[in-house]
Structure 1
């Protein structure tokens, strides 16, 4: 049992390794444990250098939040931006999940999917939350236009 708990905690810690927290604002004061807040995190696209996506999402505080067992809300917002020269090292899939992060101990995940709009020479980023049994229709989308001089290699 201890090995399972330790493995689960390592997996949970690893799932947060791609996010860089930019900042947070408190939304609800909690007497015990951290406050409820909205956090803003940056995710660099692993397949496209020069593109960063910023996600804002609710983070539950209180006692459950302090111990990492709270279930965060499904709402999230995404804004993606070209932050440097765009370079695509390997061919991209037409649609690919590029990030997945747990937002509850077991059942819920926040996901970012990159889609390639070949006709408009753009990268479309979708964020949404899902659950093991039932997902959420809450979602947000952002688009990064790629200079026509930069080829978008496809798989």
Structure 2
């Protein structure tokens, strides 16, 4: 029994390490009052890069209100902004991937999400974070980037 628990714990740790970061919602600001259902709003979330603990990204994102928004059936617009900052000294791992998805969040009930990819520019010693909206069919060209220089 103990062996099985150890295996389950190890699998959970590996799964968590492979998954993109989870965001912490800081707060939301109403942009349009709705008579029925939730208000339209912009929410600010924070997440830490899962591989570089000293980088925190802040993303603001539009949230659809109304009745469909209140029950989780609305599709949020592809409108967001991203800013990433160094919060302590950065030490990159020896095998640092050139590209990796570091955050993903669903923005509709089906097939649409916002994701943040980390790109490493070794020549300029910079980490570039790119936020995009993905959809199985007809994604959005709207995007936002932020860079962090690696000393």
Normalised TM-score (structure 2): 0.83
Cα distance in structure 2, aligned partners of 1:97 and 1:20: 17
**Cα deviation code 1:92-119 (max 9, x no counterpart):** 2111111111000112110000000001
Q: Do residues 118 (structure 1) and 132 (structure 2) align?
A: no
Q: Structure 1, unaligned stretches of length 5 or more?
A: 1-14, 148-155
Partners in 1 of 2:25 and 2:74 — Cα distance?
19
1:82 partnered with 2:80: no
Matched positions, count: 133
Output the aligned Cα RMSD.
Answer: 1.7
> Match of 2:88, SS?
strand
Mind listing any 5+ residue stretches in structure 2 that lack a counterpart? 1-18
Contact 1:41 1:54 in 2 (8 A): yes
Change over 3 Å in CA distance of 1:62–1:123 after alignment to 2: same
The answer to whether residue 31 in structure 2 is matched with residue 27 in structure 1 is: yes
Q: Distance in 1 between matches of 2:99 and 2:43?
A: 27
Secondary structure at 2:69's aligned position in 1?
helix
Q: CA deviation at 1:91?
A: 2.3
The structure 1 segments of at least 4 consecutive aligned residues displaced by more than 4 Å after TM superposition are none
Rounded to whole Å, the distance in 2 between the matches of 1:102 and 1:68 is 11
For the residues of structure 2 that align with 1:90 and 1:132, how far apart are their CA atoms? 34
TM-score by structure 1 length? 0.81
**How far has the Cα of 1:89 moved from its partner?**
4.3
